[in-house]
A and B are shown apart, each in its own frame.
Chain A
Amino acid sequence: DSGVTQTPKHLITATGQRVTLRCSPRSGDLSVYWYQQSLDQGLQFLIQYYNGEERAKGNILERFSAQQFPDLHSELNLSSLELGDSALYFCASSPRLGQEQYFGPGTRLTVT
């Protein structure tokens, strides 16, 4: 158990819908990262927050957005969902920038 929690574990929804994925980092970790894992793209970095502020952006679509709240939990919002958005979404947290990241169990999103 990494100490990073993610909810829900599974999510099935229809095209065009909007979902919210939630992540709670390890106690004391200020950095939260979001990654997408799919068969064709592999593991791709989406976005990073540090102590409530957006710090880095990767291959994140404009339909996707995220935020980190004062209690340091983070949410990833995915809207206007398409079939190709079906993937595993991981959250990770880190005690310091440039150090190891600890991953949550992931949310498996299926868009039908």
Chain B
Amino acid sequence: AQSVTQLDSQVPVFEEAPVELRCNYSSSVSVYLFWYVQYPNQGLQLLLKYLSGSTLVESINGFEAEFNKSQTSFHLRKPSVHISDTAEYFCAVYNTDKLIFGTGTRLQVFP
């Protein structure tokens, strides 16, 4: 069965510093990968997706993720974070009609 691993439960970082949130998935023939963000007391918002094509995908608010098939990874990066990026980030893989989520990474941005 497919699975998703987010090794870091919490990532503290100072404002304007770069950040990487790690995500690894179990191997599959074809894979669709997603990052969702959940702000406090809100639902999940789609941040970015990899379905096919370019292995580097970007979001409108400066995040990017790279699909690496050999390392079965889909790490999320941002070169300079803002206080407003403080949230829970979930990596997910689509498998047989459902999304399988990782356990989430809490990104805490300090001033």
Contact = CB atoms under 8 A, between A and B. Distances in A.
Majority secondary structure, A binding face: strand
A102 B46 contact: yes
Nearest to B44: A103
Interface string A67-98: 00000000000000000000000101000011
Q: How large is the interface on B (under 10, 10 to 19, 20 to 34, 35 or more residues)?
A: 20 to 34
B23 interface: no
Contacts, number: 47
Query: Most B CB atoms within 10 A — which of A48, A55, A100?
Result: A100
Q: How large is the interface on A (under 10, 10 to 19, 20 to 34, 35 or more residues)?
A: 20 to 34
Interface of B: 32, 34, 36, 42-46, 49, 51, 90, 94, 96-101, 103-104
8 contacts: A2-B46, A42-B104, A45-B99, A56-B98, A90-B43, A100-B46, A103-B36, A103-B45
